[in-house]
């Protein structure tokens, strides 16, 4: 049985359909990412799965039980870990005190020192929470999420506000948990994070799932065009190239193709034959972010975004 099973989930706030007929499964042991722009309905979904929010319709099972049933919630909360978007602990405690206190809520918690080590707070273990930096507080959030040794971990934007090194530490931690068999439901706005961690993703837009699949195949990404770029060698004319490029900008040459193997073969064969270097040679597909923005009809250009409103 999947860790999370969602069928035709609905939740409205007044006239606003925050979650509108959402169906998906999260398999046990996988890292599953829920993507979507601000207000798409991710947190609403996650709070329903955690048993913190009542749904209006549809079926949900989390670790085999209905999180909407009050009598299941106590059991469920000992099996799940939650990292919310904001820290919700008393700031006059030290890191160690709050972890020790929360460890007492669970039947089989992880050792406190192990958690302090895993989230990289050893040097801050006896500091008061109010003295931690924003990024250190976020690491403590993750520590509080895993102190109960959960089967299923909900991570709502776990690396927002972290510096690049701390983000990587958190990624390593998520990989470690995943390799131990923990199921992770991740919400994130960072596509590199999703690509690095998630086996599957679902994209929410305006309360509905608009695409799902692996990060490499989302929205047909693995079948889209490939761009091959390099710089034209000195003393070589564009007309000397063995195939006509799609774009030329000074010495910058670009080929857009469905068949990168043939294009690369002809170009590299030609370059080797004439002893030319193909400076800056790169082969790129559409990024996950390109696909995501197209799926959610967002644009980097605010004037274009306004056209979709």
Please give the residue ranges that form the binding site for ligand ATP (CB under 6 A).
13, 16, 18, 36, 38-44
CB of 46 to ligand ATP, least distance (A): 8
43 vs 149, beta carbon nearer ligand ATP: 43
Cβ distance 282 to 228 under 8 Å?
yes
CA 18 to chain centre: 20
Rounded alpha-carbon distances, angstroms, from residue 43 to 93, 113, 301:
27, 30, 26
Cβ distance 262 to 238 under 8 Å?
no
Cβ distance 147 to 101 under 8 Å?
no
85 vs 94, beta carbon nearer ligand ATP: 85
35 vs 63, beta carbon nearer ligand ATP: 35
CB of 37 to ligand ATP, least distance (A): 7
43 vs 102, beta carbon nearer ligand ATP: 43
15 vs 249, beta carbon nearer ligand ATP: 15
Angle, vertex CA 38, rays to CA 32 and CA 194, nearest 5: 30
Q: How far apart are CA 47 and CA 58, in angstroms?
A: 15
CB of 31 to ligand ATP, least distance (A): 18
Decide: helix, strand or coil at residue 159. coil
CB of 13 to ligand ATP, least distance (A): 3
CB of 200 to ligand ATP, least distance (A): 18
């Amino acid at each position: 049985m999947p860790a999370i099973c969602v069928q035709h989930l609905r939740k409205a706030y007044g006239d606003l359909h925050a979650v509108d007929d959402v169906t998906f499964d999260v398999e046990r042991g996988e890292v599953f990412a829920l993507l979507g722009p601000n207000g798409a309905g991710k947190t609403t979904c996650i709070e329903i799965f955690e048993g913190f929010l009542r749904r209006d319709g549809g079926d949900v099972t989390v670790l085999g039980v209905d999180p909407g049933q009050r009598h299941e919630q106590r059991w469920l909360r000992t099996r799940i870990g939650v990292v919310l978007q904001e820290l919700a602990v008393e700031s006059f405690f030290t890191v160690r005190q709050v972890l020790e206190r929360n460890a007492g809520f669970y039947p089989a918690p992880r050792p406190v020192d192990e958690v302090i080590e895993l989230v990289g707070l050893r040097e801050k273990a006896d500091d008061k929470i109010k003295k931690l930096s924003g990024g250190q507080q976020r690491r403590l959030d993750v520590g509080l999420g895993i102190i109960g040794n959960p089967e299923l971990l909900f991570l709502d934007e776990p690396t927002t506000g972290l510096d690049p090194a701390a983000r990587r530490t958190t990624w390593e931690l998520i990989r470690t948990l995943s390799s131990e068999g923990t199921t992770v439901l991740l919400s994130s706005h960072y596509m590199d994070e999703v690509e690095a961690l998630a086996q599957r993703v679902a994209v929410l837009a305006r309360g509905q799932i608009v695409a799902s699949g692996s990060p490499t195949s989302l929205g047909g990404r693995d079948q889209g065009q490939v761009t091959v770029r390099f710089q034209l060698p000195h003393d070589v004319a564009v007309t000397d190239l063995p195939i006509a490029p799609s774009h030329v900008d000074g010495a910058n040459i670009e080929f857009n193709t469905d068949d990168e193997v043939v294009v690369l073969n002809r170009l590299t064969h030609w370059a080797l034959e004439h002893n030319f270097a193909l400076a800056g040679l790169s082969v790129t597909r559409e990024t996950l972010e390109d696909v995501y923005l197209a799926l959610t009809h967002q644009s980097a250009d605010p004037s274009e975004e306004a056209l979709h409103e």
